[in-house]
Amino acid sequence: MFNTVSDLDSGQRLLVRIDINAPVENGHAQDNRRFERHAESIRTLLEDGHAVAVMAHQGRPGRDTFISLESHADILGDHLSQDVEFVPDTFGEDALEATEALESGEVLLLENVRMCEDELPEKEPETHAGSEFVQTLAPKFDAYVNDAYSAAHRAHASLVGFPLVMDAYAGPVMEAEYTANSAIQDREFEGPVTMVLGGTKAEDLIPVIERVDDTVDRFCLGGIVGELFLRAAGHDVGYDVEETEFFDHQWDDHANTIESILETYGDRLTLAADLAYEGDDGERAETAVEGLEKDTSYLDVGTESAETYADLVRESDAVFVKGALGVFEDERFATGTVTVLEAIAETDCFSVVGGGDTSRAIGMYGLDEDDFGHVSIAGGAYVRALTGEPLVGIDVLETAAAA
Ligand code: 3PG
């Protein structure tokens, strides 16, 4: 097990990794549950008299969502009702000067760690621990806190390097998510277990379906991952996957995996029977998958598919959701996501809703968080934990605690 912040003496200088990776509109981060949960963690640390320097990432290099954390500092400050100083630097002179000036009860946000060369790509913790980034920042702090459960599946410097060179603790979000998601692995369900997978991070979900054993009886697919399976099943989905950023040019590998999943687990997969798109009049329009056209952008599963998925949810003993079935931020394309969430909320099944953005739909559409077993702010990390795959960011905290 790892050490937690309750093991810390008060009044320390802390380097805290959180995950406020958020949707971006017009170059600005959009508020979501991640800010709220991490603000609660930071508030607890400030109340204990700590000085808190925060590290976080946003987007991936080369993508539109890869932006500075300046707007994140404002959102975090609103949740904390106190100023969050932002410094557009990670471990250079400006960052070091700002961290040195930091006093007890104050919080500072460093620039997007993915703008610093040492952060990426995935490497062994020992290699990251020796990087200039880790070696420069670590001596400036008394301890490192990792609260970023939702990024704990990434072997990046800010997540795995620091615990090897300084005292390391799990933050409150990390601890709560770890406890909830580990408990799921130990549970046995009598009735069917259903996994609803959607969203944009198909590359995280394809291996999950491939790895899953008998614990999941059926998958309901939407979002990009749903389109990819429809396409592999011979439908003309209007999504030119080879040309997108999603697969880091490894599309052929994913295509082969999808083919083999269809062969092996085909009977467990429920694909959409219809999809929705924006009609010429700007209204929601729908078509059966037999009528899909390559040049159309499909933005939600259709009403018939949403009802089918909701029926499967109602018959289930446990439901795990990762990723939205459509672009729910636009009310016209929220039908799939909201119909499934409502079905979960109405039934007594055990449920977990995960995905940084998906959990936002619960608040947006007036659903009550208490009607869900656990609402996770994690996406890829949570589905990996469900399939029993270790999370490297947690492993290093455990190794550090045992040393
Ligand atoms: C997430 O949003 O799931 C985490 O922040 C990880 O982001 P990544 O998939 O870009 O590594």
Q: How far is CA 179 from CA 12, 170, 174, 212, 378, in A?
A: 26, 12, 8, 21, 13
Which has more confidence, 387 or 247?
387
φ/ψ of 128, rounded to 5, equals: -65, -35
Q: How far is CA 41 from CA 153, 170, 199, in A?
A: 20, 11, 27
Regarding the beta carbon of 37 and ligand 1, being less than 6 Å apart is answered no
- Nearest-CA residue for ligand 1 atom 9 is 380
Are 89 and 112 in contact by the 8 Å Cβ rule? The answer is no
Instruction: Check residue 82 and give its pLDDT.
Output: 97
Indicate the angle between helix axes 303-314 and 335-346, nearest 10 degrees: 20
Which has more confidence, 175 or 208?
175
Whether the pLDDT of residue 342 is over 90: the answer is yes
| CB proximity list for 282: less than 8 A, separation 6 or greater | none
Q: What is the pTM of this model?
A: 0.88
Regarding the beta carbon of 376 and ligand 1, being less than 6 Å apart is answered no
Mean per-residue pLDDT over the chain, rounded: 93
Q: How far is CA 36 from CA 44, 58, 80, in A?
A: 13, 16, 9
Regarding the beta carbon of 274 and ligand 1, being less than 6 Å apart is answered no
Regarding the beta carbon of 223 and ligand 1, being less than 6 Å apart is answered no
pLDDT, mean of residues 288-305: 94
Whether the pLDDT of residue 374 is over 60: the answer is yes
Q: In ligand 1, which atom is closest to the CA atom of 154?
A: 11
Nearest to 145 by CA among 44, 259, 274, 27: 44
Q: How far is CA 358 from CA 59, 102, 146, 269, 337, in A?
A: 17, 35, 23, 21, 8
Regarding the beta carbon of 60 and ligand 1, being less than 6 Å apart is answered yes
Which has more confidence, 31 or 252?
31
Ligand 1 center from residue 151 Cα (angstroms):
6
The predicted-structure confidence for 97-150, as pLDDT tens digits, reads as follows 999 999 999 999 999 999 999 999 999 999 999 999 999 999 999 999 999 999
Structure tokens at 251: 């599309």
CA separation for the pair 248, 355 (Å, rounded): 21
Whether the pLDDT of residue 31 is over 80: the answer is yes
Instruction: Check residue 254 and give its pLDDT.
Output: 80
- Strands 218-221 and 193-197 turn out to be parallel
- Nearest-CA residue for ligand 1 atom 4 is 151
Are 229 and 222 in contact by the 8 Å Cβ rule? The answer is no
Nearest to 73 by CA among 53, 93, 59: 53
pLDDT, mean of residues 295-307: 96
Ligand 1 center from residue 19 Cα (angstroms):
8
Instruction: Check residue 250 and give its pLDDT.
Output: 67
Structure tokens at 281: 């009049």
Regarding the beta carbon of 17 and ligand 1, being less than 6 Å apart is answered no
Regarding the beta carbon of 359 and ligand 1, being less than 6 Å apart is answered no
Instruction: Check residue 87 and give its pLDDT.
Output: 98
Q: Point out the annotated binding site for (2R)-3-phosphoglycerate.
A: 34, 114, 154
Count other Cβ atoms within 10 Å, centred on residue 298. Answer: 28
Regarding the beta carbon of 316 and ligand 1, being less than 6 Å apart is answered no
Count other Cβ atoms within 10 Å, centred on residue 81. Answer: 8
Regarding the beta carbon of 63 and ligand 1, being less than 6 Å apart is answered no
Which has more confidence, 255 or 341?
341
CA separation for the pair 175, 377 (Å, rounded): 13
Regarding the beta carbon of 222 and ligand 1, being less than 6 Å apart is answered no
The predicted-structure confidence for 177-228, as pLDDT tens digits, reads as follows 998 887 777 778 889 999 999 998 888 888 888 877 677 899 999 999 999 9
Instruction: Check residue 382 and give its pLDDT.
Output: 87
Report all structural domains of the chain as residue ranges with CATH numbers, in order of start.
Answer: 5-177+391-402 (3.40.50.1260), 187-372 (3.40.50.1260)
Regarding the beta carbon of 380 and ligand 1, being less than 6 Å apart is answered yes
Instruction: Check residue 229 and give its pLDDT.
Output: 92
Regarding the beta carbon of 150 and ligand 1, being less than 6 Å apart is answered yes
Instruction: Check residue 178 and give its pLDDT.
Output: 93
- Strands 143-146 and 107-110 turn out to be unpaired
Are 28 and 71 in contact by the 8 Å Cβ rule? The answer is yes
Whether the pLDDT of residue 389 is over 90: the answer is no
Ligand 1 center from residue 29 Cα (angstroms):
14
φ/ψ of 304, rounded to 5, equals: -60, -45
The predicted-structure confidence for 233-276, as pLDDT tens digits, reads as follows 999 886 666 556 555 556 777 888 899 999 988 899 999 999 99
- Strands 284-288 and 274-278 turn out to be antiparallel
Instruction: Check residue 188 and give its pLDDT.
Output: 82
How would DSSP label each residue in 134-198? HHHHGGG-SEEEE--GGGTT---HHHHTGGGTS-EEE-HHHHHHHHHHHHHHH---SS-EEEEE-
**ipTM (interface predicted TM):** 0.99
Ligand 1 center from residue 203 Cα (angstroms):
12
DSSP label of 235: -
Instruction: Check residue 249 and give its pLDDT.
Output: 56
- Residue 354 pairs in a beta bridge with 322
Q: Point out the annotated binding site.
A: 19-21, 34, 57-60, 114, 154, 329, 355-358
Top mutation candidate among 19, 122, 174, 200 for ligand 1, by most atoms within 8 Å of CB: 19
Percent of the chain with pLDDT over 90: 77
Instruction: Check residue 375 and give its pLDDT.
Output: 92
- Nearest-CA residue for ligand 1 atom 7 is 151
Whether the pLDDT of residue 302 is over 90: the answer is yes
Regarding the beta carbon of 8 and ligand 1, being less than 6 Å apart is answered no
Ligand 1 center from residue 304 Cα (angstroms):
31
Instruction: Check residue 248 and give its pLDDT.
Output: 59
The predicted-structure confidence for 138-174, as pLDDT tens digits, reads as follows 999 999 999 999 999 999 999 999 999 999 999 999 9
CA separation for the pair 289, 156 (Å, rounded): 40
Instruction: Check residue 247 and give its pLDDT.
Output: 59
CA separation for the pair 284, 62 (Å, rounded): 32
Instruction: Check residue 359 and give its pLDDT.
Output: 80
What percent helix, strand, coil does the chain show, rounded to 5? 45, 15, 40
Are 176 and 203 in contact by the 8 Å Cβ rule? The answer is no
Ligand 1 center from residue 150 Cα (angstroms):
7
Ligand 1 center from residue 234 Cα (angstroms):
30
DSSP label of 4: B
Regarding the beta carbon of 199 and ligand 1, being less than 6 Å apart is answered no
